[in-house]
A and B are shown apart, each in its own frame.
Chain A
Amino acid sequence: MYALLLQSAEDVTREIIRLQHGYQFLSYGLIVAWLILVVYVLMMVGREKKLKREIEGLRAMLEERPRG
């Protein structure tokens, strides 16, 4: 409907550029939103592994040490 109101080839080109620009930045927004969630998940996975390793290490150390 809106396209029918356009007057010239220049208008069509301008409209296409405007749409491309909009979609480009919308995709940036969606990528950022997802990327933040994914990065945070990866950070949590890394931290969890580190914490579990630390617990195992401390437990092993306590088992090895003779109690005074």
Chain B
Amino acid sequence: MRDKILFVIGVAAILLLARDINAIIDLPEERNQGIIFKIIFFHVPMAITALTCSLVAFIASIGFLITKNFKFDAVAVAVTEVGLAFLAGNLITGSIWGRVAWGIWWAWDARLTSALVCWLLYAGYLMLRRAIEEPTQRATFAAIFSIFAFIDVPIVIFSIKWWRTQHPAPVFWGGGSMPKDWYALWAWNVLAMMLVGFVFTAVRLRQEEFQREIDSLRREAHAI
């Protein structure tokens, strides 16, 4: 039953994304940036999904440290991995936008650098998990590391408010605006990306359950 629900949500999200691509192509050019502006319809939803994953990982990590329940650890690792994929998409689409808008692929400004640091921190989190064998120790160290890594998330979000960056100032909470139909399209894409993220997390979570089953079967095999 759970698989069927996930399948339906996944298909709905993919159809929504595909429909939005068609609508995005039909949109007129933005006056200053031209066609490349349209990348915002994927770039920002990917960032929102990635940073939501970071928030869930942060909460789950605190949950694990308080309760020592391994379900929280499984949620933390699942959302971190999914968030890492979305953040990679965000960084690369941003870089492609920068190549057209700025004439360069990358600028070491506060937003881009903090986002890259965020990606590296969460990649480090996954590497740390691979390095520790003992499950309780692995989950504890990983939870502490995840909480530490989350410190970077507000820096990523507010860097364009706190410092003058090459990255554009925020559109929606920085005095900018968008035509209503563009905004609706953007919001639908945020929803679609979040749904994709949700399905990925649910599938990844099931794999963590499989992994726990393997661990328990191995222990049983050693005991015999």
Chain A interface (Cβ < 8 Å from any Cβ of B): 18-19, 21-23, 25-26, 28-30, 32-34, 36-37, 40-41, 44, 47-48, 51-52, 54-55, 58-59, 61-62, 65, 67-68
Contact = CB atoms under 8 A, between A and B. Distances in A.
A22 B34 contact: yes
Nearest to B197: A37
Interface residues of B, number: 37
Contacts of B17: 34
Given A32-B89, A58-B214, A67-B224, A51 B207 contact: yes
B35 A36 contact: no
A52 B206 CA distance: 11
19 contacts: A22-B29, A22-B34, A22-B100, A26-B36, A26-B39, A29-B43, A29-B96, A30-B21, A30-B39, A32-B93, A37-B85, A40-B85, A44-B204, A44-B207, A51-B207, A55-B217, A58-B214, A58-B217, A68-B224
B71 interface: no
Interface of B: 17, 21, 29, 34-36, 38-39, 42-43, 46, 82, 85-86, 88-89, 92-93, 96-97, 99-100, 196, 200, 203-204, 206-207, 210-211, 213-214, 217-218, 220-221, 224
Given A22-B34, A26-B35, A61-B221, A32 B210 contact: no
A4 to B, nearest CB: 15
